[in-house]
Structure 1
Amino acid sequence: MRLRRFSLPLVTPLRTARAELRRREGVAIALGGTDWTPPDAAGAEPPPAATDDAASPATVGVGEATPLPGWTESFPACVAALRDARDARDARHARGDRGARDARDALAALDPSETPAARHGLALAIADARSRAVGEPLAATLADEVGLPAPSASVPVNATIGDGSPEETARAAARAVDEGYRCLKLKVGARGVDADVDRLRAVRRRIGSDVTLRADANGGWDRSTARRALRGLEALDVAVVEQPLPAADLAGLAALCGTAAVDVAVDESLVEHGLRAVLDAGAADVAVLKPMALGGPDLAAEAARRARAAGVEPIVTTTIDAAIARTAAVHVAATIPDVGACGLATGQLLADDLATDPCPIDDGRIAVPAGPGLAGNAFDDVV
């Protein structure tokens, strides 16, 4: 198992609830042939070790762990967890425990509730290796594992429009529509409700009625403000309001559901409470799933299945990840039948990346890479 730390600058600083982000720090993970034994049923064999460098066996799977403050463990905790999992596996192997040869043993040591980003990185590398071993895209393997139909060949994505005056917001929305986006998510909550309604009214006038609008309040309203906002946004045919109340207020979110023709989506609440608590409380019409914060593409695909079974629509977004994890999120989204527009158009926020993005956006959609695993061997030189 090989680990490589990286740090990627953002195009512009991004303010979160916890800090101002200027860079995204993470760990790229590679599994070699000696880290991975494919399932016996597949009848596949791991590739031989590289002959030019015996210390670096041929890559069979890649992953990415990019923690985000407020959503996952810290970067130092992520690095420590991955190193501990690797070193414990190597120590058992050195003592002659042949069962410790496989990276899946190391995965068991990573708790998704404590170190979700670390688990995401290793779980993704394992999933990539398994999909490559059977010669199919990661989305197909994930769908089969959680009992979903064959994945889609492409997924729709939304553009995100930041805060600004009505005129600035309308111009940005028009540019996104010209680029082919059919769903726009607008940031709200930093201004008063009336000012935000004016902004969305200006957007609706500029782009017409055929484009789906969503709003993201990032937990910025109280209950009475949220009710008033939903009434104003309903008149503008806004489809979804994301996290209208603080993450802790599941009862308030449940009370909002069904009060207007605007669906209530939860994002931060999923991290704070978990999907089961959100579903039990009836606190969402839409669940925003971040694979990095949930602990891996496998857990995200399973969460999507559970949400849909409970009558809650799942959509997938990133945590401003690098290319490896963004590609994995595309595969997760593809496992969801008739998935709505997902928040996967985030690569443009990075000034640099780990590799060329194999998932470009074309006319508001991303084609799912058709090669085996994540994207064939597109990321093998990263680690």
Structure 2
Amino acid sequence: MTDDRPRRGNASLTVRHRPFELNLTRPLGTAHGDIRSRDGFVVAVERERDEATAVGVGEATPLPGWTESRETCAAALNRLSDSDGDGAAGDSLDALAHERVDALDAEATPAARHGVSLALADAAARGSGDRLADRLAAEADLDATPADAVPVNATVGDGDPTETAGEARRAVEEGFDCLKLKVGVRSVDADVERVRAVREAVGNGVALRVDANGAWDRTTARRALDALAAFDLAYVEQPLPADDLEGLAALREDDPSSRVPIAVDESVAAHGVDAVLEADAADVAVLKPMALGGPDRALAAALRARSAGVEPVVTTTIDAVVARTAAVHVAAAIPDVSPCGLATGSLLDEDLAPDPCPVADGRMPVPSGPGLAGDAFDELRRS
């Protein structure tokens, strides 16, 4: 990635990007079909004021169904890279940064905005010597100091009861105290037996979540929730299709002390967190920074949800290491965040760089900075 344009103003900001493709270790089934690879863009921005320069790195990894297509993302980044990077005399770097981000539609091109806004935030935090989490918290006017580590859940595959219980037991032995099980592909009765086997295998001290990926209709969801209530689940994620906010709200009408809490994921991508909150459709909002348009927007959505009594959980869209690290910073900025779905690096057969946030005992450390992770991504900033 090169840029040889002359500098004409006191401040300048240039945006560059290059494509990448990373294969998964095995296909991952979702409500939108199997994911076999992650194709995206490394984004780099260079902020220059007089002779002071700061370079930041971001990631735009679209996932159709949650974000724009790869082609639409590329077109948005191309337009931004082709624009003039220089400001007039007296322009501030912050003004130029806001101009670049505002040029991207967070609703139409959330992955592109994520990549650019993350790179800008990384550059700014590196320039000031702050961790990204601390900068995000300050911009959101949060009083609490971001955490130094974030609790995460392990995801358990869709095996038979014996296989599922064995995988769950291994995750607990590795230090996880929160597990998420995929359900909805099998019959309700079969899934109930899988959840029963896991609960018996790991005991009552481990939090269990299940994710149906919108597989059930209202009648099936009601039957499933009634049957699963015996296992003290933390929540059932997306028991109904994304568009059925009314049905999700109806599932929540029972006494909260006797029902399984409802989490939404695809519904947030389809309608936005504000629509979910207005419909009273969730106890938990699963938030993906890539799908929401950037770390800043993800943190803002988390705080709106928390203020409405809905618990935020930060997850990835099976991103590469740059975006995963950013999601860890977002989660760290949320006070007393619940275990998040960030331990997804092992799903990739390869990555853009070594992971600065390795999972240990069910937690991911927040890099000490500055920026995303100090100099961990310097090679990506230069490429």
TM-score for the superposition, normalised by structure 1 = 0.91
Corresponding position of 1:295: 293
State the distance in 2 between where 1:234 and 1:177 align. 22
Query: Is residue 159 of structure 1 aligned with residue 154 of structure 2?
Result: yes
Q: Report the Cα offset of residue 258 of structure 1.
A: 4.7
Q: Which of 216, 220, 224 does residue 215 from structure 2 map onto?
A: 220
What is the root-mean-square deviation in Å for CA atoms of aligned residues?
Answer: 1.7
State the distance in 2 between where 1:280 and 1:69 align. 25
Corresponding position of 2:8: none
Corresponding position of 2:112: 118
Query: Which amino acid is 2:115 matched to?
Result: G
CA contact (8 A) 1:117 1:295 kept: yes
Q: Which of 59, 68, 71 does residue 66 from structure 2 map onto?
A: 71
Q: Report the Cα offset of residue 98 of structure 1.
A: 7.8
Corresponding position of 1:88: 83
Q: Report the Cα offset of residue 100 of structure 1.
A: 9.7
Corresponding position of 1:12: 26
Q: Deviations over 1:299-327 (max 9, x none)?
A: 00000110000000001000000000000
Corresponding position of 1:54: none
Q: How does 1:4-83 map onto structure 2 within 5 Å?
A: 4-34=18-48, 47-48=52-53, 60-83=55-78
Equivalent position SS for 1:129: helix
Query: Is residue 2 of structure 1 aligned with residue 16 of structure 2?
Result: yes
Q: Which of 181, 186, 195 does residue 186 from structure 1 map onto?
A: 181
> After the TM superposition, which of the residue ranges 314-323 and 128-137 deviates more from structure 2?
128-137
State the distance in 2 between where 1:378 and 1:47 align. 21
Query: Which amino acid is 1:4 matched to?
Result: R
Corresponding position of 1:245: 240
CA contact (8 A) 1:215 1:240 kept: yes
Equivalent position SS for 2:166: helix
Q: Deviations over 1:330-376 (max 9, x none)?
A: 00000111111100000000011000000000100011111111001
State the distance in 1 between where 2:327 and 2:153 align. 14
Query: Which amino acid is 2:293 matched to?
Result: G
TM-score for the superposition, normalised by structure 2 = 0.91
State the distance in 1 between where 2:97 and 2:348 align. 30
CA contact (8 A) 1:159 1:345 kept: yes
Q: Deviations over 1:183-231 (max 9, x none)?
A: 0000001111111010000111111111000000000111111111111
Corresponding position of 2:124: 130
Q: Report the Cα offset of residue 17 of structure 1.
A: 3.3
Query: Is residue 203 of structure 1 aligned with residue 198 of structure 2?
Result: yes
Q: Deviations over 1:113-140 (max 9, x none)?
A: 0000000000001111111122111011
State the distance in 2 between where 1:283 and 1:46 align. 52
CA contact (8 A) 2:177 2:362 kept: yes
Query: Which amino acid is 2:108 matched to?
Result: E
> After the TM superposition, which of the residue ranges 199-208 and 140-149 deviates more from structure 2?
140-149
Q: Which of 343, 360, 363 does residue 362 from structure 1 map onto?
A: 360
Equivalent position SS for 2:316: coil
Q: Report the Cα offset of residue 4 of structure 1.
A: 1.4
Corresponding position of 1:56: none
Residues 235 and 25 of structure 1, relative CA distance in 2, 3 Å threshold? same
Q: Report the Cα offset of residue 153 of structure 1.
A: 1.1
Query: Is residue 107 of structure 1 aligned with residue 90 of structure 2?
Result: no
State the distance in 1 between where 2:174 and 2:84 align. 48
Q: Report the Cα offset of residue 97 of structure 1.
A: 8.5
Residues 74 and 97 of structure 1, relative CA distance in 2, 3 Å threshold? farther
> After the TM superposition, which of the residue ranges 113-122 and 190-199 deviates more from structure 2?
190-199
Equivalent position SS for 2:220: helix
- Poorly superposed stretches of 4+, deviation over 6 Å: none
Query: Which amino acid is 2:122 matched to?
Result: D
Q: Which of 165, 172, 176 does residue 171 from structure 2 map onto?
A: 176
State the distance in 1 between where 2:115 and 2:165 align. 38
The count of residues paired between Structure 1 and Structure 2 equals: 361
CA contact (8 A) 1:104 1:126 kept: no
State the distance in 1 between where 2:217 and 2:203 align. 30
CA contact (8 A) 2:47 2:123 kept: no
State the distance in 2 between where 1:285 and 1:147 align. 25
State the distance in 1 between where 2:97 and 2:302 align. 25
State the distance in 1 between where 2:90 and 2:60 align. 27
Q: Deviations over 1:230-274 (max 9, x none)?
A: 111110111100000000000110111152431100000011111
Q: Deviations over 1:47-84 (max 9, x none)?
A: 44xxxxxxxxxx52110000012110011111110110
CA contact (8 A) 1:89 1:105 kept: no
Corresponding position of 2:342: 344
CA contact (8 A) 2:31 2:214 kept: no
Q: Deviations over 1:152-195 (max 9, x none)?
A: 11110000011110001001101101111000000001111111
